[in-house]
């Protein structure tokens, strides 16, 4: 929540992102990822014929990615790095493994890199 704001009285308009950056359903994953990076957002509304038809997220991109998108996924991971905290006892987070580029719910910080369980165990 916005720092120093009372969640009971704050209005959405005070903290929302504006202007809205959107994408069309026909756009490629690469185009969506590039637009997210340029705009500094993690979600894009998908607009067709002036109507909201869906939302694409950075997590959606990671799960639908192929080998050719590893650079873009690395950049998306960097966008998240500042918001990932390892204060929990197990220190696990969700994101993209920096070794295999796969989406994982069990990332751990190992010597400054976010690694999935498989890469931590040396199975890749």
What is the pLDDT, as a whole number, of residue 44?
Answer: 93
Residue 29, strand partner residues = none
Query: Over the stretch 60-102, which tens digit does the pLDDT of each residue have?
Result: 877 765 545 566 666 666 665 555 444 433 556 777 778 887 7
Query: Is 3.40.50.300 the CATH classification of the domain at 1-66?
Result: no
Spell out the domain ranges in the chain: 1-66, 84-124
Q: How far apart are CA 23 and CA 104, in angstroms?
A: 26
Q: How far apart are CA 2 and CA 13, in angstroms?
A: 12
Query: Over the stretch 5-56, which tens digit does the pLDDT of each residue have?
Result: 788 888 888 888 888 899 999 998 888 888 888 888 889 999 999 999 999 9
């Amino acid at each position: 929540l916005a720092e120093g704001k009372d969640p009971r009285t704050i209005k959405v308009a005070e903290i929302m992102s504006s202007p809205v950056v959107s994408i069309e359903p026909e756009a490629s994953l690469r185009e969506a990822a590039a637009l997210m990076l340029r705009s500094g957002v993690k979600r894009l509304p998908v607009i067709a014929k002036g109507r909201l038809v869906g939302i694409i997220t950075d997590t959606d991109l990671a799960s639908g990615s192929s080998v050719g998108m590893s650079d873009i996924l690395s950049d998306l991971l960097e966008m998240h790095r500042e918001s990932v905290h390892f204060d929990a006892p197990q220190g696990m987070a969700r994101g993209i493994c920096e070794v295999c580029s796969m989406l994982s719910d069990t990332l751990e910080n190992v010597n400054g890199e976010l690694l999935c369980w498989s890469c931590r165990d040396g199975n890749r």
